[in-house]
Amino acid sequence: MSAPTAVLFDVPGPRARARNGVLGVVAVLVVAALLAFVIVRLAATGQFDSTVWEWILYENIQLALLEGLVNTLRAFALGAVLALIFGAVFALGRLSEHAWLRRVSTAVVEFFRAVPLVVMMFIFYFGMPSVGITVSTYVAVVAALTLYNGSVLAEIFRSGVQAVPRGQSEAAYALGMRKSAVTRFVLLPQAVRSMLPTIVSQLVVLLKDSALGFLILYPELLFQARLLGSSGQLGRPLLPVAFVVAIVYITLCLLLTALATYLERRTRRSSAGTPALVEDGA
C-alpha cells in the first residue's frame, strides 16, 4: 500500500482547482502590471539612456567592481567552510551522550544564533581593540559570518541526523559498529543528502550577509557600489549601479543553487546502487 501524497492538506477538488487557477492568473497579471509600471517609470526618468550607463565602460570602474566581487567571494568562501565545520562540530556536540558537552554546545549555538550578525561584526572590528586585539575588516566579517551561520547550520545538521530512521543506527549497532562510526558512516551521509537543499539555502544567506561588511568599510561589492553610485563625477548613477550589483548577486546565488542541484543528483545516483544498511543488516 503506497503512502498518501497529501498529509498536511486535502487534495483540492474541481472547484478548488478552478479557484486556485483564477487566483494564480490574477497574481501573475498583478506582478506583470507592477513590472510594467516600474519599467515605464524608469524609461520616463531616463534610466535607460546610454549616457546613464557610460560609467560601466571605464576600465578603472570595472576593476573596482571586480575587486569588490573578489573580496565578496573571499569572505564567502572562507566563511562558508568555517561555518560548515563549526556547524558539524557543534551538531555532534549537541548529539553527544555526555550531558555537559550537550549543555555547552547548546549554549554556544543558542548564543550566537541570538546575536545579530551586524552586532558581531561591530564587536569584532570596533570592540576588540578596546581589549588589545585588533583585527582587519576581512577577519571581522569572516568571524561574524562563521559564528552566526555556523550556529544555524548546527541546528540543521542536528535535525537532519535525528530525522534519519532509527532502524539505520540500530542495524549498525547490531553489526558491532561504535557510535562515532555510526554517526560518520551511516547517519551523516544520509542526513547530508536530505539536508542539502537547506544547507544550500543557508549558504545563499551567508553569501548575501557578506554584503553587511560595507558597514565596517570592508571593500566588498556593495561597498564599491556605494562609492560609485554616490560619485558626483559619474553623475551619481545609483540605480544603474544597483542593477548591476543585483544581477551579480543573483548570478552567484543561481550558480550556487546549480552546484547544489548537481551534487544532489550525483549523490542520489551513487546511493541508488548501494542497498540500505537496514536491508543488509536486518
| pLDDT for 271 | 59
Higher pLDDT, 143 or 275: 143
What would the mean pLDDT of 27-47 be, rounded to a whole number?
A: 87
- Check pLDDT > 80 for residue 207: yes
| pLDDT for 174 | 80
- Check pLDDT > 80 for residue 130: yes
State pLDDT tens for residues 50-97: 777 888 888 888 898 999 999 999 999 999 999 999 998 998 888 878
Higher pLDDT, 32 or 178: 32
Q: The whole model's pTM is what?
A: 0.79
> What proportion of the chain, given as a percentage, has pLDDT over 90?
33
The top-level CATH class assigned to 58-264 is mainly alpha
| pLDDT for 7 | 46
- Check pLDDT > 90 for residue 140: yes
- Check pLDDT > 90 for residue 142: yes
Long-range contacts of the stretch 170-179 (C-beta < 8 A, 24+): 171/277, 171/278, 171/280, 171/281, 171/282, 172/277, 172/281, 174/281, 175/281, 179/97
CA distances from 121 to 70, 72, 200, 226, 265 (A): 20, 15, 23, 19, 36
State pLDDT tens for residues 209-263: 999 998 998 999 988 888 888 777 777 788 888 888 999 999 998 888 888 788 7
| pLDDT for 201 | 87
Q: What is the mean pLDDT of the chain?
A: 83
Least Cα distance to 88 among 179, 165, 158 occurs for 158
Higher pLDDT, 172 or 121: 121
What would the mean pLDDT of 32-43 be, rounded to a whole number?
A: 87
Largest CA distance in the chain: 74
What would the mean pLDDT of 128-147 be, rounded to a whole number?
A: 92
| pLDDT for 50 | 75
Long-range contacts of the stretch 55-63 (C-beta < 8 A, 24+): 55/228, 55/234, 55/235, 55/237, 55/240, 55/241, 56/240, 56/244, 61/228, 61/234
Sorted by where each begins, the domain ranges of the chain are 58-264
> What proportion of the chain, given as a percentage, has pLDDT over 70?
90
- Check pLDDT > 60 for residue 3: no
| pLDDT for 10 | 66
CA dist 220 and 75 (Å) reads 9
**Residue found by looking up cell 542593477 in the block:** 243
Q: Is residue 121 a contact partner of residue 137, using CB atoms and an 8 Å limit?
A: no
